[in-house]
Amino acid sequence: MRRVLTLIACLLPLLPPGALAAGRRPAGLPEDPRRVPNNLRLAVTESSADLDGDRVKEGIVLVEALTGEQEPARAVEVILGIVGGPGAPDNGTLLWTRHVSRDTGQPAHSAEITAVDLDGDGGSELILTWDRALDDRTRDRFAEIWAVDGPGRLRKVWQGRWEVDTRRTDSVPVAERTRYQTRIDFGATRRLAGRGIVFERVYTVVAGETLAEPKIVREQVAVRLRP
């Protein structure tokens, strides 16, 4: 049994009694990740960062949760929330939220969130990554980068595949298999002063062949990081 599917199968019994009986499912996950019931949570990440450059830190809450859906592609949801005000992230006001699988229509699990000041203006951007593959022989991580224009005002400036590994994917011909990871050249990006991001895609397998030395492909993408 595949790792992800096995995990879901093992955790479905933790849902509220009778939730899946007679076709009934939980009414839906709350918008606020802090309100997800404990018995539905798979993982929780809480942190804080100054996102809008006002020298006050906002709370960042990332929750991975069971949805109650029996279809594996919809069985897990990733919820990102931004919290402001006193006591954030545990308390305070929910300023913004994103339900990744619901909003994208794609599977989402194994998510990570990073807050980093890409353009050097004192406010952090958010890099959200998650895996879309349901087969542990495949790596298919996707990413979104969000700029913050003010409290609760987030703007997606980039999205794309972040990490791919199809070396053992049966549905991909051997001659087309690849492995790469994406990273950001932070120094070069900061020199663009909010006008772009410099990415580096690091290939270790190309066309089914393992490279003796990694191949790095650089790309500068024009984006507006500042309001």
pLDDT tens-place string over residues 78-89: 999 999 998 888
With vertex at residue 180, the alpha carbon angle to CA 170 and CA 165, rounded to the nearest 5 degrees, is: 20
- Residue 212 confidence class, pLDDT cut points 50, 70, 90: very high
Domain contains 164: yes
Average pLDDT, the chain: 90
Residue 145's domain comprises 3-171
Domain contains 142: yes
pLDDT given for residue 7 in this prediction: 52
Per the document, the length of the chain is 227
pLDDT given for residue 86 in this prediction: 85
Domain contains 214: no
Segment 24-45 mean pLDDT: 87
**152 with 96: CB under 8 angstroms?**
yes
Domain contains 71: yes
Domain contains 110: yes
pLDDT at 24 over 60: no
pLDDT at 36 over 90: yes
The side-by-side arrangement of strands in the sheet containing 93-99 is 41-49, 58-66, 76-84, 93-99
- Residue 13 confidence class, pLDDT cut points 50, 70, 90: very low
Number of domains in the chain: 1
Q: For the segment 132-168, what is each residue's pLDDT rounded down to a tens digit?
A: 999 999 999 999 999 999 999 999 999 999 999 999 9
Domain contains 41: yes
Q: How far apart are CA 189 and CA 172, in angstroms?
A: 34
pLDDT given for residue 224 in this prediction: 98
Domain contains 178: no
pLDDT given for residue 90 in this prediction: 85
pLDDT given for residue 27 in this prediction: 54
pLDDT at 14 over 70: no
pLDDT given for residue 88 in this prediction: 82
pLDDT at 32 over 80: yes
Domain contains 204: no
